[in-house]
Structure 1
C-alpha cells in the first residue's frame, strides 16, 4: 500500500510516496499533491530506495564495545548522566542533536535537558547551517520567522540568490524558479557567489564578489535605495524603527566604492542595484554562503534592511528568504533545539518565558541561561568541563570545524553516548555507548521545511533488529533518572503536547502557534496533510505568508533596522596561507554520506573529494588538473583531487564537505576549517579558512574495480565505495611492493582456483594492469601507473554487467582502451538515468542544440532537472569550439 511521507534530505521538504510490495521491495516517487515539490524529486530523493538496506546498520545496543540488551544500555546511560550531574552539576553534561531527527524526538530531548536536568547545554548541527539566520530574524522581527513561502518565488520579478548554489543544494526549488522565469518574461535572476556555480546557468547576472564582502554589497544597495528614492516611507514610518541609524551607517557609500571593495565590475553592481530599486516584487534567497560566517548575523540583517526600507516584505512575491539545509532544521527551532532557545520560540533569558515553560511542563527546574553552542560545547568537552555527551543522529567528527580537535575531545570525555542508525561512522568509533535508532522509512513523526510547512514522515518499514525511535530512547532514560512526564504512548501524543505549549498563554504574542492542532487525535495526526504554521483558529488551514499587516513580534510591534558595520573574516589569509578555503555540497551527496554513500548511482556523479582552483592559483601552487593536492591550514590538512576551472574566483579554493573516514583517507575537509564563530549566532566560519596548497606526488597511483567490497588501506590517499556496477577504490602509495602481481591479487581477494588472469606489464614506465576472470566473467581489475593519468573507469565498470567477456573486452583489459568492448559514457552527468558526459557530447555533435533536445534523445535532465546546468555547460563548450574552428 502506498505511504505518503517526506524526503529526509534538504530543507525543501519534498513529499514522497513509498511503495513496498509483497516481496519487501521498495520504490519511491514524488508526491504530486505535496505543495513543496508537486511530484518532482531530485537525484538524491529518487535514489532513496537504494539507501534503506541493512548493510552497516547498528541493530543492537553496544556498551564498551559489546552488544547488550536495551535495559543494560539504558541503565548505563541513565546512571552515568545522573551520577555526573549529581557530582558536577547539570552543566557538566551536554546533548548534541540533529536537524535530521523528527520534531517529536527534538521536543523530548529538549524537555529532558532544559526542564528536568536543568542545563541548556543542548545544541544541534543546525547551528552549522542556519543559526545566523535565526539571530538575524530575531534582531529584525523580534521572532525567528521566515516571512514568505515558495509561491513567492513564482510570483517575483527579481530573484536574488546570495551564497546559495540552489541548483545543487535545493534542486527542486531551483527548478521551480527556472520554470517561473520561463513563464514570466519580466523575471530576472541574480546570483551572488564567489564561484560560478550551476545556479548561474539560469541567471541573468552573476556577481562573483570577494569572499566575505556580502555586507558591503548590501550596505551599498541600502545606500543606493535611499539615494534613488526607492523608500516605502509609509511602511518605514508605521512599521519599523531604526531606519535613520541604518542609513547613517551607509551614508556616502557609492556604487564605485562598493564595487571596489567587493572586487566587482562597477557596471555589474550598478545594474543589480538598479534592478532591485525598480522592481517591486523581489525575493532575496540566502543560504550557507551568508550564514556560515563570523559576521553571518550582520550579513542577514544587511539583506533584511533592504527589504524593510522598500516595504518588500509580507506581500506576494517579495521578502528575504532563508533556505535551510536540513529536513527538520526549522522543526528543531520550534522546540528550542538551539542552546540559546526555549521551546515554542520562547527565550531562555526571558523570565516570563521560563515561567511559562516550567509551569506547562511541571518540571522541577528550568535552565535559566544560554547553554554552550556547538563549537564551544566541544571545546568544553575537550577541557573536561563537560564530562558526558549524548550525540544523536549526527557526525561531528566529520562536520564540525577543526574536526581533529573534536575527535580528541571525544576521546577525553568520560561518557560518550551516540544514537545512530549506522554502526560505523567517524563519531561512533569514539562512543562508550551506542544506541540503535530508526531511520527514514522506519520512524514516524513530523518535520518542518524552509517555508514553515509541517509535513509527516510516516513509517512504511518494520523496525530492524533492536532499533527504536529516538523519542522512546530519551523517554526511557528520563524515567530511569526519576523524572515524570515522559510516558508518551506514541509520537502523536508528543505532537499534541508540543502544539499545546505553542499556544499556552500565547495570545498572539509569539509567532509559533499550533493552537488549531493541539487536540488532534491519533487518527487525525496520522492523516495530517502538509500545513504552514501558524495554524490557529483564525487560520485553521495555515498561514502562507507572515507580516501582511505590517505587525511584527517586537514589544512595539515594529520591525527593527540594524546598522551593519562590515567586518573582515576572522583569521585572514597571509603569506603562509594565501588562499581562502570555501566548503559546500555536491549535487548528489548529503552531509557525511552515511545515507547517500550507499547508493551506487549517487557516488557515480562525483566519486572523490576535490579541490577547485582558478588556473592562476593552480600554477602558483604547482598543481595540475586531475592530479592531487595537499591543502593545509593552521588547524589541519587533507588531500583532494584537483579541478582547475576559470569558474572559481582567483584566490579561493572550493572543497566539498561530505567525505569522511568511512569513504576516504585524508578526505575530511573540516579538519582544516577555521573554528572561528559569529559572536551572536555561534555559527562557524566555514566559508573562509586560510589555506595553502601544494602538489601531492606519491610514488604510484592505482584504481581497483571489483565485484566484492575492497579492503581499505591503512595509510595514504584512498577513496572507496560502491559506484555503478561494482566496488571501486582510488588509491596511491609511497612504497612500491616487491611484486605488483602479488599485490594486485591480494587486493582483489578472489583466490587462485578457477581464476584466469589477464596481465599487462611495463616495468620501465611503471604501468601494470591485472584482471581476474572466472567462468568468463570479470571478477575484478587493478590498474597501476606512476602518475594520475589512468584510463577511464566508466567503460571498465560496464564490463561487470557482461555474462561473458568478448575477445574485444579481453583485449581492452590489456590495452587499457575500450576497443568497442564497452561504451565509455564518461563521467556521469545525469544520475537519474545514468547518462554520461561522452554520450551527451556525442548527441551534441549529431545536432542536439538545446538542453531540451538532449533530454528528448537521452532522457538526461527530464526527471529532477538538476543536471540541466551541466548539460548547458557542455552545449556552450561545444558552441565555443565550433566558433573557434570556423
Structure 2
C-alpha cells in the first residue's frame, strides 16, 4: 500500500473566476482533481475544464530543454545569448528597440519581474500582454470613470441582486461557475430576473427572462437609451450625483441616440428600461462582447454611466461587473503589465508616481510615456523599430488580429525569444531561442480573480525536463544584463513581499491597490496564504468600492463620459457578412492544455461556422459541409453548422484552432487590426467577410493510436482515448489511397480495405497483432459514421466492426457528447428521456448525472427535452 499523498490547495488556471482546486498527487504521477469547498469563488464547484485538469498533464509535446536555432542548448548558453542580444540591441538602438509580449496566464510574481525588468531597468514601457485582447477596454473605462482600474463589486452581489444583466457575455460557457451561482440563486429566488444582451442565442439564455438580440456593436446605443430614460424619469440619485462630474453632458449625448440602431423592438427596449430602472439591486455583468470592439471603452462607460447616475454601485447586490477572460488578467493589471500602466495601479505619465516606483526599485531609468500596445507593438516588429522581442506564455501567431501578418513580422524580426511549455506552437516555430517554462501544476505563486481576490497557485508536481519558472528565467537574464542585486530573489514569496511593499508606497499616493499588510510576509506565511480580497492594508480591507461616493480622481469625484455610439465598420457587397468570434464550452485559448484531454475534445472537435439557415440556403452551404470564409487579411475553412442561434448576416466562429490542430481553421487571420482609440483593444467580433462553399473532391475521417500527419486542404486533429482523430478534406484524390493512408499514419503495413466504387467510398484499417492501429474513411460527402464508437476501438481486436463505422446491436452508441463532466452522449440522453418519460433537466440529471456538475450542458439537455416533447 502506498501512503496517502497530501492534498494541495491551489487555483484553476483557466478563466478569471479563479476557482479553488484540490489537487491530490496519485500513484501514477498525476493529480486527482476536485473543487475546493472552502474557496469563496467556487465553494467546491468546478466547470468541466477545471475538472479535467488532471487529464492535461501529459508530457507529450512539452519543451524539455532550451533550444537555440532549433538545437538543444544548456541554460547558461541560452540565457547568455538572450542577455547579450538584448543588451547589444539596447546599446545600439535604444531601449525602445526591444519589447516583451506577455500573458494573463502568468502568475503575478512572473508578471512583476517582467514589468520591473522592462520599465525600471531596460527603461522602456514596451511590455504588453494578451490581456490587451480581453479586458483593456474595461481598464480604460474604469480609469476614465473612477480614476482607477477598480472593480467595485463582489461575486456575492450576483446572488444578492434582484436583476442581473449579462451583456456581451456567454457566462454559461465562458465563466460556468459564476453562471451556476446565478442559476442557483434564481432557483432559490424565482423573483430574480435575468436579462441577456447578445446578438447570438447562447447557452446563457437558458436562464434569461429577456433575451435582447441586439444588432452587433449597438450596446452603447442601448445603454445610452437607458441613461436618457433614467434622466427622463428623474431616477437619478440626487445625493450620489453630487459626487459626479459630467452628468449633464453624458445625458445630453445619450438623449441623441436613435434606438432603431439596436434592431430591437420598442416593446423589448421598454421592458428592459422598466426592469433596470424599476429594480434597485441590479448588477450589470459585461465581458468580451463589450470589450472587444472599436469603441469598447465607450461601451464600458455607457454602462458605468447608468450605475453612477443612479448610485447603484458599491452596495450589496448592485454595480457594474467586468468579468475577465484570463486567470490572472487582474494580477497583470496590478503589477503594471500593460504598456500604459505602472505597478500598483500607478500612472506612468505622472512624474510623482514614476519617481516613487523608481526610488523603490532603485532603478536606473524609467520611461516617461506609455509603450506600444499589442497591435502597435507587432507593427513595430514588422517595420523594424523593434529588433528584439521576447514572447512569454502566449501564442500571438494564433490570437492576434491579422494573425498571418503578425507571423510574417515575427519571422522577420532580428531576434525572437519565446518562453513556453510546449515545443511546437505557431509562435515557437518562429523563435531563435526557445526557453522551457513550467506549467500550471509546476508553478508557485499568486493569481487575482475578477472580484479582486488573490489566491495561491501552489506547485503540485515537479518540473518537467529542464523547465524553469518564468520569474526565474527573467531574473537570470536581468542578472546577466548587470542588475543581479535588484533581481536576487530565491523564492516567489520574496517577490510577493516586494510587490506588497511597493503597493504600500502606492497606497500612500492614493492608489486603490494596497496589500501592504503582506509586505513582510515570510515563506511560511506565504505557503499558508488564504484567498483574500484586496485592498488589505491599514487603510482599507476588502469589501466593495465607491458606495460612499469617494473616487480616485484628484477631486474625489467620478466622471461620467459623454458617449457618442459608433457603429462597426460597414459591410460591403463583396464582404457582406459580419463575423462574430468567441469561445466554445470545453476548450481554452489555443488548446495547448485542453487539447490534450480526449474528454474536452468530444463536445466540439473541429472549427466551425454557425450560420443562419437562410444564409446557408443563399450561399449553397449544407450542414456538415465546409465553407471558405475570407477577406483581404486571410481565409479560413470551417465546418458548417446551420442554426438559428445566430441572426442572418451574423455568422459565428470559435477562436481556438491553430496550426497544430487545424491550420485552415485559424480564425484570427480574418480579424482586422482595428482597435479602440482609448484602450488599444482590437475589435475581434466584427470582421466583415465573404463566405462561399468549399467543395472538396473527398471528405475523410481518420483515427490512429500513434499519430496523424495530414496533407490536404482541410484537416482538424483532436485527441481521443488511446490516440488521435482527424477530420479531412482534399481538393484532389491522391494517386493511391493506400499510400496516402500509410503516409498519414506513418505505417508500412498492408491495410484491410473495403471499397464501394458506386458511392465513391473507401475504408482502410491497419491491424497489427490482431489489434486496430489506425483507420481511414473516405467519401464524396461528409463522412457519416459513429465517431464516438470508433474512438473506443483503437487497440481492440474487432477490425470488421471498425470498418463498419458503427457499433453492432450489442454495443449501444452514446452519440455526440453533451455532458463532458460525466461522458454522457446525446443518444443516451434521448433514449433515457423516451424510455423514462422524463420532462425536466433535473430528472435527466438524476437518471444519468448529466448536468449535475458544472451545468454547462443543461441548456442542451433542455433542448433535447423540448425536442422529445415536440416529436423532433
Category of TM-score, reference length = shorter chain? over 0.9
- Aligned residue in 2 for 1:295: 295
Please state if 1:9 is matched with 2:14. yes
CA shift digits 1:339-368 (9 cap, x unpaired): 000111001111111111111111110011
- The 8 Å contact of residues 341 and 370 in structure 1, kept in 2 or not, is answered as yes
- Aligned residue in 2 for 1:523: 524
Distance, in Å, in 2 between the alignment partners of 1:22 and 1:642 is 44
Match of 2:763 among 747, 765, 769: 769
Match of 1:788 among 782, 789, 792: 782
Q: Which TM-score applies when normalising by structure 2?
A: 0.97
3-state SS of paired residue (2:307): helix
- Aligned residue in 1 for 2:566: 567
Distance 1:505 1:180, change over 3 A: closer
Q: Mapping of 1:34-113 within 5 angstroms?
A: 34-113=39-118
Distance, in Å, in 2 between the alignment partners of 1:528 and 1:578 is 54
User: Which has the higher mean CA deviation after the structures are superposed, 129-138 or 260-269?
Assistant: 260-269
- The 8 Å contact of residues 401 and 672 in structure 1, kept in 2 or not, is answered as yes
- The 8 Å contact of residues 697 and 732 in structure 2, kept in 1 or not, is answered as yes
Distance, in Å, in 1 between the alignment partners of 2:694 and 2:331 is 43
- The 8 Å contact of residues 21 and 36 in structure 2, kept in 1 or not, is answered as yes
The alpha-carbon deviation at position 250 of structure 1 amounts to 2.0
Distance, in Å, in 1 between the alignment partners of 2:588 and 2:231 is 42
The alpha-carbon deviation at position 732 of structure 1 amounts to 1.1
Distance 1:759 1:359, change over 3 A: same
CA shift digits 1:192-230 (9 cap, x unpaired): 000000000111110000000000000011111111222
3-state SS of paired residue (2:651): strand
3-state SS of paired residue (1:630): strand
3-state SS of paired residue (1:485): helix
Aligned length, in residue pairs = 865
The alpha-carbon deviation at position 838 of structure 1 amounts to 1.1
3-state SS of paired residue (1:881): coil
Distance, in Å, in 2 between the alignment partners of 1:514 and 1:161 is 31
User: Which has the higher mean CA deviation after the structures are superposed, 482-491 or 601-610?
Assistant: 482-491
- The 8 Å contact of residues 572 and 689 in structure 1, kept in 2 or not, is answered as no
Q: Mapping of 1:197-596 within 5 angstroms?
A: 197-237=202-242, 239-251=243-255, 253=257, 257-258=258-259, 260-483=260-483, 484-504=485-505, 506-507=507-508, 509-539=510-540, 542-569=541-568, 571-596=569-594
3-state SS of paired residue (1:33): coil
- Aligned residue in 2 for 1:800: 794
User: Which has the higher mean CA deviation after the structures are superposed, 718-727 or 401-410?
Assistant: 718-727
Distance, in Å, in 1 between the alignment partners of 2:851 and 2:615 is 33
- Aligned residue in 2 for 1:869: 859
- The 8 Å contact of residues 708 and 727 in structure 1, kept in 2 or not, is answered as yes
CA shift digits 1:768-820 (9 cap, x unpaired): 11223344432222111011142231122233375x43xxx72x445444332
- Aligned residue in 1 for 2:823: 834
Distance, in Å, in 1 between the alignment partners of 2:721 and 2:648 is 35
Unaligned runs of 5+ in 1: none
- Aligned residue in 2 for 1:606: 604
The alpha-carbon deviation at position 332 of structure 1 amounts to 0.2
CA shift digits 1:663-693 (9 cap, x unpaired): 1121100011111000010000101000010
The alpha-carbon deviation at position 747 of structure 1 amounts to 3.2
- Aligned residue in 1 for 2:3: none
3-state SS of paired residue (2:718): strand
- The 8 Å contact of residues 219 and 564 in structure 1, kept in 2 or not, is answered as yes
- Aligned residue in 2 for 1:736: 733
3-state SS of paired residue (1:126): helix
CA shift digits 1:354-393 (9 cap, x unpaired): 1111111111100111100000000000000000000000
Q: Which TM-score applies when normalising by structure 1?
A: 0.96
Distance, in Å, in 2 between the alignment partners of 1:58 and 1:590 is 20
Distance, in Å, in 2 between the alignment partners of 1:684 and 1:78 is 32
Q: Mapping of 1:802-821 within 5 angstroms?
A: 802=796, 804-805=797-798, 810=800, 812-820=801-809
The alpha-carbon deviation at position 508 of structure 1 amounts to 6.6
Unaligned runs of 5+ in 2: 1-5
CA shift digits 1:485-542 (9 cap, x unpaired): 1101210111011011111163371100011111111111111000010001254xx4
Calculate the aligned-residue CA RMSD, in Å: 1.4
Please state if 1:857 is matched with 2:847. yes
- The 8 Å contact of residues 136 and 291 in structure 2, kept in 1 or not, is answered as yes
- Aligned residue in 2 for 1:678: 676
Distance, in Å, in 2 between the alignment partners of 1:749 and 1:391 is 33
3-state SS of paired residue (1:727): strand
- Aligned residue in 2 for 1:694: 692
Please state if 1:144 is matched with 2:177. no
- The 8 Å contact of residues 4 and 31 in structure 1, kept in 2 or not, is answered as yes
